[in-house]
Amino acid sequence: MSDGESLPGAVSLSDVWPSWVAGAPVTGEATIEVRHPYDGRHVARVAVADPATVERAVAAAVSVATEAAALPAHVRADALAHVSQRLAERTEEIAKVITAENGKPLRWARIEATRAASTFRWAAEEARRWSGDVQRLDTDPGAEGRLALVRRFPRGPVLGISPFNFPLNLVAHKVAPALAVGAPIVVKPAPKTPLAALLLAEIVAETGLPGGMLSVVVVPNDRAPALTADPRLPVVSFTGSGPVGHAIREAVPHKHVTLELGGNAAAVVCADWSSDADLERAASRIATFSNYQAGQSCISVQRVLVDASVYDGFLDRLVAAVRSQRTGDPSDEQTDVGPLIDEDAARRVETWVDEAVTSGATLVTGGRRDGAAYEPTVLTDVPPGARVVCEEVFGPVLVVSRFDGVGAAFRTVNDSRFGLQAGIFTHDLETAFRAHRDLDVGGVVVGDVPSYRADQMPYGGTKESGVGREGVRFAMEDLTYERVLVLTGLDL
């Protein structure tokens, strides 16, 4: 893709992509350049929202808040259904935009676009069911004739801050629940990957929703603290790195803050997962989902804990499966693993792997960097204090270790600052329930990798993996509070 060539779905690359404020495109003097992570070629120029533009976005959200909260359910639901339909219709074009700005292979970009359509479809359905609860209060003699209606109302306009790794679907998980409950939202996408969020704003502008319900403003990260501190945005929903997330929470303790942060997800292969078919499936799934976004997913597999009784047979299969992952140009339909977001990210992964090997780890396969790409890598015998074990690698690196008994494995899973999700390969129902009880994580996936996420289920972590939950209905609850209406003098 060269300068002047048309990027699907919007403007020519010789033009500037605008921010979207209150349903209308807005340009400005300053721009940022989006480059393809794979080879650094020019993708687009994007208008940076100046302070006046950001002020317009926030003011529009505030001015429309009362109207938005009072919108009939069918208006919100129909608008969300329209967005879902348009995302589905434009899947191929949106996938190409995601690949161009993010570098993820086209096959995975299509899945992201499809998931975003599904997220808006779920939001449309939930908007129609968003009705509240009725409680009889005559459970005590003094409350005869009383009935309570408990409904949820928006906490106020929302600031949504999204990361680069899922530039569409993680924006969708902020926008769709907000629109479903009638909460205006201002989105600040990652400056490296703003294009998919801008396309989403263009689609939302096609609906009959009041314009101020969604603005997408592209600003450098160093201007985010001013947005976060704005008292007119009482809710902050952030997905990204732990240090930034914790800094946000500390800076605005009076606000309602939801944080979706990092992880170093573990997959446990138990002794009963021992047949050839079992081991092949576990190896294939782990190899795929440690590398599927070049490891740039907070629930990509990072730590693999294997029972000693099946360790040798499993490791051979895993290494073969990792080596079969095809790396290269993400626009190639056959590519499994694309580049990291930039060369600095790949250098960091390279440094961490080199540190582990220097401290005694065995490099079984991989371990080579080429620009922004890092080869899918498997390490064994890694010291427990190495950063590839303790921190979030956010790259295509697996650390494999053996254990004796699920108790030891579960203690190792929990021996982490993070607690997002874990995968348990077992056929034993008792082990599955024990994992659910004992593992200090937000989700346990039995029979598969921890990377599984259904967009309607509650999603979030414990410890330093975050606060609050996403997943459409659960995010809708998070963006709202209960308000009670008591009716008196009723003949119940």
Structure tokens at 134: 């009725």
Cα-based torsion angle of the residue sequence 31, 35, 37, 38 in order, rounded to the nearest 10 degrees? 180
CA proximity to 478, closest of 261, 238, 120, 246: 238
CA distance 364 to 380: 7
Q: What is the dihedral of CA 270, 276, 281, 286, to 10 degrees?
A: 60
Three-state DSSP state, 431: helix
Q: Are 380 and 364 in contact (CB under 8 A)?
A: yes
Residues designated catalytic: 260, 298
Under DSSP, the state recorded for 100 is H
Rounded CA-CA distance 89/120 in Å is 13
Three-class SS state of 420: coil
* Alpha-carbon distances, residue 457 vs 44, 258, 406, 437, 472 (angstroms): 35, 16, 26, 18, 7
- Of 27, 176, 197, the closest CA to residue 478 belongs to 176
Task: Report the SS3 class of residue 193.
Answer: coil
Q: Which of 446, 452, 384, 398 is nearest to 420 (CA)?
A: 452
In the three-class reduction of DSSP (H, G, I as helix; E, B as strand; rest coil), residue 260 is classed as: strand
- Beta strands 303-307 and 266-269 are parallel
